Amino acid sequence: MSHFPPLHRFADLLAGSLTGKPFLYEEGGKLSLSFDISTVQSRMDPAQPDSLVLGYTRTMMGCLLFNPKPRRITMIGLGGGSLAKYCHRYLPDADISIIEISQEVIGFRNEFAIPADSARFHIHCGDGAEHITNSSAEIDILMVDGYDIDGQAKSLCTQRFYDDCFDALDAQGVMVVNMCGGDRQIGSYVSRIRHSFNDNTVVVQSEDCTNKIVFAMKGNGLRFSEKQLLAQARYLEKHHPISLQTTARMLTASLRNGYFLSRQKNHGYQISS
């Protein structure tokens, strides 16, 4: 989810948002999915349906810096399928499972050119938190981007959920979470993630500066040096059309300065700017 879309045909957008249901609209040649007129859940360039238009999605793909060849990817939240389509195209050896609670959102898959289900690509209609609790697969990369009209789903922010995410990951697994930049509860959510992941957590500003992206490692991924991460990014950019060096620099800056997350007495962790 990204904030403050440009408004086009305001009356049509307002009418759509009042239903409380997901709706589509076109702006500047791009197709967008929204729940209300103040946010964009997903955006696609029809000429390049596999490209990552929104900056936060490009930042989330920084998880490849820690695992460039994942075998199993699980995504909670489909939206317009930007991350799902990207991974389907550029990670052909990965088995990809997407859990989306809204059948109406899944119903837009053709409009967003989302691939059909196959041996390695599956969309399931269900509750993401329940799916993780009952998961028996060892996930390499877990992407959490589950939003509705009220914001991030509450079931995807609990201590139990983050504990279950840790348990569901492979020994060197990575969880990456998209968090709305304006959510005042971010500090509490990150505190829970840090607790579940034994402090192996780092938060960065998304590429478009609207959201915060949290990376949490089950293994020792955060022990990579800046030189190692940048070298990995340069190598990956030979195969991926996104600036992973940008994300690598943001990650190492957050790890190096040590001030992005600061513990506040009685208030968990406070996000610093």
For the chain, the three-class secondary structure string (H helix, E strand, C coil) is CEECCCCCCHHHHHHHHCCCCCEEEEECCEEEEECCCCEECEEEECCECCCCCCHHHHHHHHHHHCCCCCCEEEEECCCCCHHHHHHHHHCCCCEEEEEECCHHHHCCCCCCCCCCCECCEEEEECCHHHHHHCCCCCEEEEEECCEECCEECHHHCCHHHHHHHHHHEEEEEEEEEEEECCCCCHHHHHHHHHHHCCCCEEEEECCCCCEEEEEEECCCHHHCCHHHHHHHHHHHCCCCCCCHHHHHHHHHHHHHHCCCEEECCCCCEEECC
Q: Please give the Cα distance from 91 to 104 (Å, whole number).
A: 27
Active-site choice (127, 145, 164, 170): 145
Whether 148 is a known active-site residue: answer no
Known catalytic residues? 145
